[in-house]
Amino acid sequence: MAAWNGNVDRYSRLRRHVMIDKEFACVIRGICHQTSFAKWWSIQAPLKDKRKDKRLQRAITARFIMSNDLSRIPLRPASEIPPPPQHHREPYDNALSQEFPSCIWYPNLAEPETYRELAYREPRMALTVARACIIANYQAVYQSLDFFPTRALIREAEQQPSTFYTNDLKCRAELHGGFLDTAEGSNWEEHPMVENMRLFNTNLSEVTTTDDIDMFPAGIFNGEEAPDVGTILLNVCAPSNVKFGHTATPLSEVYTAAGAPLEIPLGLDADLSARGYLGTALIYNNRPWVPHSSVEEKDSE
């Protein structure tokens, strides 16, 4: 939990020479949530596993950006800044590069000037900046960006109360021949931010261990495994007399005084916000659910 919370003091004292199971995913989560934890990791020796170290550095960069620091994205002479992409597929492919973070808006939003400067310094991150601007409603910065529309962007825009972004993305799609599909293996990019703001697997248990940390295969932090510690958080709070005798008891069996267990609604097409909150939960529980989007509407015409 020290890694998951980004607790520098506790983690630095308790860490082992070799990471245990699920620790790396918790470290990534801690870095993205705590600037001090990210700073501490930024001055540590690189991990021996080069692939993991690259993912770690990417998370640090994301946290620094959300803290309005662009020191890891150096300002270059104008002659060295790549020109805006000219090919329909180019910006999307570059956005998937392992070099840059894909999530720079959760759990915190940077200032609009930070996002504008970031897009100037690294045009290949224009799509990522566009998504941040949609979530933050930074219209002025959004309108200054040069990018092609993607399905991930339109799904994010549909969560916003204003139709400004959905209308703009549809116009861009008409100009550029449609929305770019999400790359294979990157479906997590189509999960709106709102889906990542809750924990989906929470049970009451008398005893909890790291086995109670569920791992979603691809989460908001650049597609890294997402540790769900809902069960552990509940059992930290619950007094012993409440937990006594329970073994992975779901909340539907714990909180019964107010009525029968709630059913997850399946008719979510008309309620985009509910779709956002419950989409991952439905998939996680293998519930039949087909998301409805203006993208599908256009494709069916």
Cis before 74? omega within 30 = no
Give the least confident one: 168-172, 174-178, 211-215, 290-294.
Answer: 290-294
Query: What are the start-end ranges of the E strands in the chain?
Result: 203-204, 214-216, 226-228, 249-250
- The Cα 24–Cα 15 span in angstroms is 11
What region, left, alpha or beta, does residue 286 occupy, with left being phi > 0 and alpha being psi -120 to 50 degrees? left
pTM: 0.79
pLDDT band at 272 (very low <50, low <70, confident <90, very high): very low
For range 253-269, the mean pLDDT? 69
Q: How confident is the model at residue 75 (pLDDT cuts 50, 70, 90)?
A: confident
Instruction: Provide the CA 100 distance to its chain's centre, in angstroms.
Output: 14
Which H, E and C letters describe 104-172, residue by residue? CCCCCCCCHHHHHHHHHHCHHHHHHHHHHHHHHCCHHHHHCCCCCCEHHHHHHHCCCCCCHHHHHHHHH
> What mean pLDDT, rounded, does the chain reach?
81
CB 6 within 8 A of CB 36: yes
| pLDDT tens string 196-218 | 666 667 888 888 887 888 877 66
Residues 6+ apart with CB under 8 A from 36: 6, 8
- Picking from 217, 251, 216, 260, the residue whose alpha carbon sits closest to that of residue 233 is 251
Structure confidence at residue 269 (pLDDT): 39
Amino acid at 283: I
Give the pLDDT confidence of 13-68 residue by residue, as tens digits: 999 888 988 999 999 999 999 999 999 999 999 999 999 999 999 999 999 999 99
Q: Inter-axis angle of helices 112-121 and 126-136, to 10 degrees?
A: 170
Mean pLDDT, residues 168-183 taken together: 90
* pLDDT confidence tier of residue 90, bands split at 50, 70 and 90: very low
Average pLDDT for 174-198: 79
Least confident of 20-24, 31-35, 116-120, 183-187: 183-187
- Give the model's confidence band at 255: pLDDT under 50 very low, under 70 low, under 90 confident, else very high: confident
Q: Shortest CA distance to 41 belongs to which of 66, 15, 21, 20? A: 15
Residues 109 and 135: beta-carbon distance below 8 Å: yes
Q: Which region among 78-92, 114-128, 238-252 has the lowest average model confidence (pLDDT)?
A: 78-92
* Contact between residue 243 and residue 205 where contact means Cβ atoms under 8 Å apart: yes
Question: Has residue 174 got a pLDDT over 70?
Answer: yes
> Is residue 93 helix, strand or coil?
helix
